Amino acid sequence: MANQDIDVGRRKAMKLAIAGAAAIPVASLIGGGVAYSQDLPHVAEDDPAAVGLKYMHDATQAPRADKAGSAAADQFCHNCQFIATDSGEWRGCALFPGKAVNENGWCSAWAPKA
């Protein structure tokens, strides 16, 4: 076999170009376009989804009942499995996409955090 000269510089440049192109979509996920719960619009109690789930901003005014081994008095959005983990008075909720609920609120879908 004949020895073939391998252009290591060209091969290295191609690898870097491919890696750089692959990193562009990943880089846009880091820190860019982050939405915080305090920036989300608050869910209104008269919103159709909120009415269907009996959501109220103040859990003490909601028709709560004991469930899932938790007393009604201990059920709040801030200790529900559907609430976002960030802190603040208004937080994102998986049940109300794109809207924030009051951490002291309650709805009928309340379930304890695992």
Pairwise pLDDT comparison (110 vs 33), residue with the higher score:
110
% of the chain beyond a pLDDT of 70? 81
- Encode the chain in three state secondary structure: CCCCCCCHHHHHHHHHHHHHHHHHHHHHHCCCCCCCHHHCCECCCCCHHHHHCCCECCHHHCCCCCECCECHHHCCHHHECCECCCCCCEEEECCEEEEEEECCCECCCCCECC
Residue listed under structure tokens 């290591």: 8
Query: Domains of the chain, with CATH numbers?
Result: 8-102 (4.10.490.10)
- For residues 106 and 112, give the distance between their C-alpha atoms in angstroms, rounded to a whole number: 12
pTM over cut 0.85: no
Pairwise pLDDT comparison (36 vs 79), residue with the higher score:
79
